[in-house]
């Protein structure tokens, strides 16, 4: 156990000026390299920028959102304006648009549908409905699903069993079938019904993810510490635990938006979605179905829009998930 401290060994820093312990020639002195800490937002931005697929996704998503928000300014024509029927893409209708007695040429970049609506304009307005439905469904399923997950994970026992058996029950049905059933039960079409139907159908995904996350957070010492300083259950659940579970929730949310867009399009296609006159991508696609042999563009254009948007959201979501996953990021760097 005895350490050998010989008499000629100088103490730390005692021989300053002659390079004893505690000093070294200046050329050997290196600035300590420390990796600059990046906040969560910074890390996410880096992750997205460094991932070409995710960046592509993010750009399209941004375009989609901008289009939806500024639809009335971006669309060349109103959503109810009619022109010549079933014009091919990049052709023009010739008619009197402004009632001045003379006819004008009106270009239709994506053609017109069987009612003579300009498809590009309808699709731009349709983006609005799609985004609105997607965000609103997200809000519904996220709120309810997260609450179920937090309660089940935190309390465990009977509450956990009851809530999760309900979630299992819901999981046993495909989302679209469940959506159709809910719309049938609620009776009547309309945006609100679609939102409720799709929103409820996706509760289970959030509930499962959040519950799993809460189960592991519950064992953390800072939760015991929070109890030890007298916090109540609600406070611990929503202020201490939930912020720590936010990463998987955000990722799940970005991955759910395209699912919601698809579900809305699917329901509309089946005729169970919004009112038939509302322009949505699903309805446009459905309308073109019967003319597919004569006017392919009526169905194909909204179909492409759905595909590109869903794909972009998925790529963006995947990029976000990778950016959030610190451990994986660290492994890649080494």
Residues within the interface to another protein (CB under 8 A): 1, 37, 156-157, 220-222, 224-232, 234-235, 238-240, 243-244, 246
| Closest CA relative to residue 299, chosen from 67, 56, 38, 122 | 122
Closest CB to another protein among 189 and 251?
A: 251
* Least separation in angstroms between CB 230 and another protein: 4
**Length, in residues, of the chain:** 334
* Least separation in angstroms between CB 333 and another protein: 18
* Least separation in angstroms between CB 241 and another protein: 9
Q: Where are the beta strands (DSSP E) in 77-163?
A: 91-95, 104-108
Q: What is the DSSP string of 37-73?
A: PPPHHHHHHHHHHH-HHHHHHHHHHHHHHHHHHTHHH
Closest CB to another protein among 187 and 230?
A: 230
Closest CB to another protein among 91 and 244?
A: 244
The torsion angle over the Cα atoms of residues 166, 171, 172 and 174, rounded to 10 degrees, is 140
Closest CB to another protein among 29 and 35?
A: 35
- Contact in structure between 333 and 35 (CB atoms under 8 Å): no
How far is C-alpha 224 from the geometric centre of its chain's CA atoms? Answer: 33
The torsion angle over the Cα atoms of residues 137, 138, 142 and 144, rounded to 10 degrees, is -10
- In the chain the first and final C-alpha atoms are separated, in Å, by 39
Closest CB to another protein among 35 and 293?
A: 35
- Contact in structure between 279 and 126 (CB atoms under 8 Å): yes
* Least separation in angstroms between CB 33 and another protein: 18
Closest CB to another protein among 246 and 311?
A: 246
């Amino acid at each position: 156990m005895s350490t050998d401290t010989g008499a000629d060994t100088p103490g730390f820093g005692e021989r300053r000026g002659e390079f004893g312990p505690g000093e070294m020639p200046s050329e050997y002195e290196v600035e300590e390299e420390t990796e600059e800490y990046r906040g969560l937002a910074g890390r996410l931005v880096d992750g997205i920028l460094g991932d070409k697929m995710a960046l592509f996704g993010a750009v399209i998503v941004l375009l989609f959102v901008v289009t939806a928000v500024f639809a009335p300014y971006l669309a060349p024509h109103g959503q109810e304006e009619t022109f010549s029927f079933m014009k091919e893409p990049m052709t023009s209708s010739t008619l009197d648009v402004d009632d001045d007695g003379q006819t004008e040429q009106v270009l239709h970049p994506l053609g017109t549908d069987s009612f003579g609506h300009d498809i590009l304009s309808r699709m731009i307005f349709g983006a609005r409905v799609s985004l609105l439905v997607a965000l609103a469904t997200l809000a519904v399923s996220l709120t309810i699903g997260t609450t179920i997950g937090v309660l089940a994970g935190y309390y465990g026992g009977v509450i956990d069993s009851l809530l999760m058996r309900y979630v299992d029950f819901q999981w046993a049905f495909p989302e679209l079938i469940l959506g159709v059933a809910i719309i049938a039960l609620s009776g009547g079409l309309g945006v609100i019904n679609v939102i409720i139907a799709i929103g409820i159908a996706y509760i289970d995904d959030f509930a499962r993810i959040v519950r799993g996350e809460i189960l592991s957070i519950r064992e953390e010492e800072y939760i015991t510490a929070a109890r030890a300083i007298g916090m109540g259950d609600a406070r611990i659940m929503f202020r201490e635990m939930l912020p720590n579970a936010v990463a998987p929730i955000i990722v799940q949310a970005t991955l759910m938006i395209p699912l919601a867009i698809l579900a809305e399009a699917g329901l509309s296609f089946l005729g169970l979605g919004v009112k038939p006159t509302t322009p949505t991508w699903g309805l446009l696609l459905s309308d073109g179905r019967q003319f597919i042999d004569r006017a392919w563009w009526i169905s194909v254009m909204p179909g492409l829009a759905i595909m590109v948007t869903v794909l972009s959201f998925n790529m963006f979501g995947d990029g976000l998930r990778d950016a959030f996953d610190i451990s994986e990021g660290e492994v890649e760097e080494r």
